[in-house]
Structure 1
Amino acid sequence: MKSTAANGRPRPVTQEDVARAVGVSRTLVSFAFRGAPGVSAETRQAILDAARRLGYRHNAAAADLARKAASAVGLYLLDIRNEAYADMFAGVREALRGAPSRLILSIAETLGDVDDGAVDSLIEARVGIVIAATLLDSDDEVRRLAASVPLVSLARRVEGVDSVYSDDHAGALAATEHLLSLGHVRVAHVSGPLHEGHEGRWRGYEQAMRRAGLSPRIVFAEDYTQVAGESAAAALLSGADRPTAVFAHNDEIALGIREAAGKAGLTVPADLSLVGYDDSRIARLRGIDLTSMDLHARELGREAGAAALARLADPGGPVVDRRLEARLVVRGSTAPPPVV
């Protein structure tokens, strides 16, 4: 319970109040909240219970200033509406559970274009490290950013910067080769916008097609959403030489292509086979049943969170380069091409 100050207003509960309630020193209370060594599990729990009972709220920002070290982890997400990023967020949160670092979230205001404001807001919040999923800046710009604040690049590899990512090139090869193995020869790819560091999926598709002696056909969507996918696919599916299969940059774009196919009178997979990327929850829904590449979004988030904690603990450690292999999950949206 808060005591009353001389002016009659409730006085905020302090660490000294918690220390008196437990019968320990204020320093030990501070150690307990910081997760520092030297506090037994039993004593730490007693301190946390007393703090909760008294209504004490730990000021992590003030604690950072006092010890002249920022412990907060900033997480930048390109698109919270995309379930892959939501899964990455869940993974980062799992990695930070039990750690003294708090998590501060910032979401991009623009989609498909460079958005420096969301990352700047994390830096202004004096975070100790930024996990960025995913930056659209050039590699050089990402490296300049990493020189000003410790950075973990999530879902994208940047040379010289801590990176946790899925092998998009190999994943795109596998997705395209799956369609080719079914007998498709008119295979198109609807890509996201052109940005340095995000070429893996369309380049993997292109390589698979050229290996098979076929001509690639790539359409670049305006952004990474379902609406952009539908718009990009409208013209693609209207011609006489329309593809019999499409590999999409992500599941959201794949859903847009599915909508465009329906409006063109085409059925998936009888008339058009479709492969997405991310293996998000929507790919697994009954009625969608989308073949997709699983990039292990939640695991990527956990690995990025662990990398961030390791960097905070050892600022001079070696650069992290953690690559996961995407996995093809075959469902009902792919089949052999229609017989003509």
Structure 2
Amino acid sequence: MEIGISTFLEATPHPLTREKVNHAERLRRGVEEIVLADQVGLDVYAIGEHHRPDYAASAPELVLAAAAPLTKKIRLSSAVTVLSSNDPVRVYQAFSTVDGLSNGRAEIMAGRGSFIESFPLFGYDLNDYDELFDEKLELLLKIRASEKTNWPGSKHRRAIVNLGVYPRAVQEPLPVWIASGGNPESAVRAGTLGLPIVFAIIGGMPERFAPLVGLYKRAAEKAGHDPSKLQIASHSHGFLADTTQQAADTFYPYNKSQMDGIGRERGWPPMSRASYDASRDLRGALYVGDPEFVAEKIVNLRRQLGLTRFFLHLDVGSMPHSEVMHAIELLGTKVAPIVHKEIARLEASE
């Protein structure tokens, strides 16, 4: 069971003062967070690509590359790379470069993206949203499979005839995960290809994703893959402090401000303190509390979904950097050991 952090390098305004960190400072803080996560023994740090003023991470691979020589063990991933509006050749080259700098610790988390700003920005038609992802994922997997690429061409891309793509990754193959917000087609696609999957579980009850996990495994088995060897991860919002009450009170205004802002775009109702607190309970989607409580929730999710990796998303809503760093320290030094010990106990009793 791997435990790590996902982030979009938020640069949103403070919920009360409306002050906000500039993008350059947020990028530097991101590198500091990766270095600390490595030092406290976390397994992976992942950065999501966005093209909005409230996020600093339009090029996650560059931030990961900056952190690569400063770290030793932690895996470095996107969360996600918006593959539909990207060039698979450049995606492979960027992450194989991170792989070389980190001596084999890079990963790609490929998704279609829940925000759509990248499509007009890079000249793509939203009507091709699904078709673009399918074609570009196929090409990316071809590129990682061999040094020379042959691609017959498609509606959206001309042919590639026996051309090399360099540098080659240290890892063979370079890990590619599929990210899903709960779309059954995404689960089937990942299972059929035998690729690891990450579910974004940011609302409701996480247990409702169990049917999607079953769908994913059945698709994999039907395609000839061993379901027992599949990797399954979740990405969930949360925050850690020394006490659960402190974590809940600290995180609430930042989380509310961020989610209400997105909600205004998507038609969600404003977050209330009651709905926030309900999401923090053992069966809810928010992982907010002291280390013992958050560890209990992660173990519970492992039982429900058979996870092999858990991402705690920090920091929704541009929280104070010192408090984010403390949460990272608690996740690595307190939560992870509890989770690993409890999972070992459960497996020994099976």
Normalised TM-score (structure 1): 0.26
Normalised TM-score (structure 2): 0.25
Structure with the greater relative contact order (CA < 8 A, sep ≥ 6): 1 or 2? 2
Is the radius of gyration larger for structure 1 or structure 2? 1
